[in-house]
Amino acid sequence: MTLDQDTHRYLGCAGWSLPREQWPHFAEDGTHLQRYASRFNAVEINSSFYRPHRPATYARWAASVPASFRFCVKMPRQITHDARLVNCEADIRAFFEQCSALGDRLGCILVQLPPSLAYEEATASRFFQQVRLFHEGPVVLEPRHRSWLAAGPVLMAAHIGWVQADPAPLGEAQPLGWPELLYWRLHGTPRVYYSAYGSDVLGAMSARLRQAQVPAWCIFDNTAAGAAVPNALDVLSGL
């Protein structure tokens, strides 16, 4: 099956690279992104974390995928890791001026924080207020310092979702943040970015997506050895 008619379940990988052995599962013609989008309805853009992309680039990507396809764009490290969420309104504005060229294909914004960044309520509240000046749509947070377990009220107020990552960096049993948005980000276990997931995990993930009553994303980030695409296809087969 494909997800081209689905309205609230989004499945894909971090990036649209297709391992050669997986090519038979996708359309034969088109760019890598177009072929990827013949099966999956979402992708996570991680390159935006390292460097800016021109609005024309985002617009070209948006024009090459089906209307139901959605991009999640990772916020630049210069905001999250260098500025550490402080005094970065100009950078936030520039980022959204770029990625807003995706139009209605812009599905989500991913804010991943460095492990050394502790939670400070005033800083977090001010940062998400600034984000909301430029973007009213879905935003999810992937913190990696345990102090962020206290951030629930701020995230709720700004309607910010909580990334349920594997491995779980904070060891939390329940996600915090805005409950009207679910986002699973699977990095690979036990070897992060490399390990493939077994059928038990993938079957459970299919079940979670089937049962979701709110917008739900599942992104495989175990791309280093090519496991993400077949893992995502296995989840797709269970939907």
pLDDT tens digits for 89-139? 999 999 999 999 999 999 999 999 999 999 999 999 999 999 999 999 999
- Is 38 a member of any domain? yes
Boundaries of domain holding 64: 9-237
To the nearest whole percent, how much of the chain has pLDDT over 70? 96
Q: What count of other Cβ atoms lies within 10 Å of the Cβ of residue 53? A: 17
pLDDT at 3: 59
| Count of domains observed in the chain | 1
Look at strands 70-74 and 42-45 and give their pairing: parallel
- Is 145 a member of any domain? yes
- Is 1 a member of any domain? no
- Is 4 a member of any domain? no
Q: Left, alpha or beta for 193 (phi > 0: left; psi -120 to 50: alpha)?
A: left
- Is 3 a member of any domain? no
What average pLDDT does range 70-84 have in this prediction? 98
- Is 19 a member of any domain? yes
Q: What count of other Cβ atoms lies within 10 Å of the Cβ of residue 21? A: 10
Asked if 62 and 71 touch (Cβ cutoff 8 Å), the reply is: yes
The per-residue pLDDT of the chain, averaged, comes to 95
Picking from 183, 132, 179, the residue whose alpha carbon sits closest to that of residue 152 is: 179
pLDDT at 2: 46
Instruction: Tell me the pTM.
Output: 0.95
- Is 51 a member of any domain? yes
Q: Alpha-carbon distance 34 to 116, whole Å?
A: 38
Q: Is the pLDDT of residue 229 over 50?
A: yes
* pLDDT tens digits for range 138-194: 999 999 999 999 999 999 999 999 999 999 999 866 778 999 999 999 999 999 999
Domain with 193 in it: what CATH number?
3.20.20.410
- Is 76 a member of any domain? yes
